[in-house]
Amino acid sequence: MYRELLISVACLCAFFTGCRHDITTGNAVREDGIVVSPGTTIYGKVLCGDTPVEGVVVSDGVDVTATDSRGVYMLASAKKNGLVFISIPGGYRMPKTLSPVPSFWKRLAKGASEAERVDFSLVREEQQRHTMMALGDIHLYSSPASSQFVSLLVTELNCISPDAVTGPVYGITMGDMTWDMYWYRNNFGIVRYLADLSRITGITVFSTVGNHDNDMQYDSKTEFLSTGEDWKCMSEYRRYLGPTCWSCNIGDIHYVSLDDVITVNTGGISDVDSRGCWRGVSEVDMEWLRKDLSYVDSSTPVIVSIHIPLYNASGTSYTSSSSSVNSTVSEIVAPFARFDKVLFLSAHTHTLYSNVKKLGDMTVTEWNTGAVCGNFWTCAVRGLDLCVDGTPGGYRVVRVDGKEISSVYKAIGKSEDYFFRAYDRNEMNLPYDAAYTKDYYGVNTDNWIYLNVWDYKEGWTVSVTENGVPLEVTQFSSYDPLYMLMYCDGLSTTRPAPCLTLFKAKATSRNSSVIITVTDEYGNVSRRTMARPKTFSLQTYILEQ
């Protein structure tokens, strides 16, 4: 009898020390030093080793809170997102895993009426200096694309060795890692993408959602118009890549990733025309953003990752005109107005450009990041990875030193001082096309030299000298000659995009060599000698790669 009594008492103690409260009763329960408040459905601790970490921001994608001095957080969550995640504090990282995807989020296991405990562990890391690589539009959708991704980008990233000078290195994908219609046509979805991404070793890779990372089988247009959310079509993304809006702190920088794609699929998997999106941010996500930023000091630099840009290359708004969504740039950037320094990184266009705009008292700086896949890998498989404006396939390298931010566009397979491509107009004669090739059609012997300086922006200089004599250099807008050559030869079927970063200079001789010098806004110099005549052929530029 005495033995049975001891067993009963032990079971009762185990019940009370390990139980989760039932929110229908409103009874508070103590567990591991946590008094779980009535109404709480998600709670836990954030620790670094055995040490509690105070002030860590925790969210379910709707509500936001912060850990107390014991590292404890509680959320009265409806669990609609199915996730809980932390905003990694500066000076910490998540523990390393076999996957490059960081474990700052966890899936929830219980229903909305049940409380559950979710803990997070952190590891100390020196981050005052660090590097973030913005990887736009990877677009894995087939075995050939996968092969190019692994042989070109993964191989390059795996050669990067963080050191005491540059600090840790991270990556962030800028959306469209996959291609929605090929989830079904090729059975190549997010799981296949993650298998290739997992070949990256030693670098943590965060994610931003793009329009092609949404499941096209749902009638998300009806869902959005009735609820203000397009969550169903992102369930596959959330399952494997976590929240579609999140933040983290690395060193002195607050990073924010926003979902600025309102998916309006009509549910036709086989009908490409049924897919669509509005360009903006839902009010649900805007409210989460305002709550997240309320925990950030206004002196903290903020880097915002979005897929669809705020502005076109020409400087006009890229957002939708639909009244059903936060459609203006002013609405989207308003929560950032109180911060001293805000930088937007975007992708989507498969081009490279930047804009600096004044909106009232706020300066909006946006760097569009080009595309890793160039033109959906179609040029890469032919030996030249080109975006539709002639920019080489690549990514933006963002370097941080304290609160100072600098960047360079890194063409895959090239050194960081590969700033431009040079053409000899005397050697060009593309087929006539009234829309695209008027600048490159017909024989020309006027000794013009053309340059595509793809990341050119305010503060850059471009000079060309012939026999020590400076030539007059002027900027103009047209289409990139090399991309046009591939387009005219049928090697790329996507229409070219205007290139706003073309320059020309007129030499005095068809045989003279010229020295081209390009200097960026940080003083980095790219200098090359162009021997002329320079043959205008794919092979010429493949050999330059």
Q: Phi first, then psi: give them for residue 232, nearest 5 degrees.
A: -60, -40
Please classify residue 402 by burial: count the beta carbons closer than 10 Å to its beta carbon, then call 0-12 exposed, 13-18 middle and 19+ buried.
exposed
The overall average pLDDT reported for the chain is: 91
Question: If DSSP codes are grouped into helix, strand and coil, which group holds residue 352?
Answer: strand
How far apart are the C-alpha atoms of 144 and 380, rounded to whole Å? 10
**Residue 12: band (very low, low, confident or very high) from pLDDT cuts 50, 70, 90:** very low
Q: Return the number of other C-beta atoms located less than 10 Å from residue 165's C-beta.
A: 6
Segment (H or E) for 190: helix 190-197
Segment (H or E) for 406: strand 404-411
Please check the confidence at residue 26 and state whether its pLDDT lies above 60: no
For the CA atoms of 104, 108, 114, 119, the dihedral, rounded to the nearest 10 degrees, stands at -30
Close Cβ partners of 322 (under 8 Å, ≥ 6 residues apart): 278, 280
Convert the pLDDT of each residue in 494-539 to its tens digit.
Answer: 999 999 999 999 999 999 999 999 999 999 999 999 999 999 999 9
Whole-model pTM? 0.92
Convert the pLDDT of each residue in 205-219 to its tens digit.
Answer: 999 999 999 998 888
Q: Are 509 and 542 in contact (CB under 8 A)?
A: no
**Residue 266: band (very low, low, confident or very high) from pLDDT cuts 50, 70, 90:** confident
Q: b/e string for 417-426 if b means 16 or more Cβ within 10 A?
A: ebbbbbbbbb
Q: In what order do the strands lie in the sheet with 448-452?
A: 421-424, 448-452, 499-506, 473-478
Q: Are 498 and 435 in contact (CB under 8 A)?
A: no
Q: Return the number of other C-beta atoms located less than 10 Å from residue 111's C-beta.
A: 9
**Residue 269: band (very low, low, confident or very high) from pLDDT cuts 50, 70, 90:** confident
When pLDDT is averaged across residues 251-279 and rounded to a whole number, the result is 84
> Under the phi-then-psi rule, with left for phi > 0, alpha for psi from -120 to 50, and beta for the rest, what region is 492?
beta
Please check the confidence at residue 271 and state whether its pLDDT lies above 60: yes
Tokens read off for 189: 């979805």
pLDDT at 125: 96
Q: Return the number of other C-beta atoms located less than 10 Å from residue 246's C-beta.
A: 27
Nearest to 265 by CA among 298, 228, 206, 221: 221
Q: Return the number of other C-beta atoms located less than 10 Å from residue 407's C-beta.
A: 22
How far apart are the C-alpha atoms of 44 and 310, rounded to whole Å? 37
When pLDDT is averaged across residues 36-58 and rounded to a whole number, the result is 97
Tokens read off for 372: 């890793």
pLDDT at 536: 97
Convert the pLDDT of each residue in 94-122 to its tens digit.
Answer: 999 989 999 999 999 999 989 999 999 99
Please check the confidence at residue 373 and state whether its pLDDT lies above 60: yes
Sorted by where each starts, the structural domains of the chain and their CATH numbers stand as 2-123 (2.60.40.1120), 126-411 (3.60.21.10), 421-544 (2.60.40)
Write down the number of H helices and E strands in the chain. Answer: 11, 33
- ω before 533 within 30° of 0 (cis)? yes
Q: Are 507 and 466 in contact (CB under 8 A)?
A: yes
* CA dist list (Å): 178 to 59, 173, 209, 268: 26, 11, 10, 18
| CA 320, 323, 329, 335 torsion-angle sign | negative
* CA dist list (Å): 125 to 157, 161, 208: 21, 16, 23
Q: b/e string for 512-528 if b means 16 or more Cβ within 10 A?
A: eebebebbbeeeeebeb
How far apart are the C-alpha atoms of 146 and 150, rounded to whole Å? 6
* Angle subtended at Cα 360 by Cα 359 and Cα 365, rounded to the nearest 5 degrees: 35
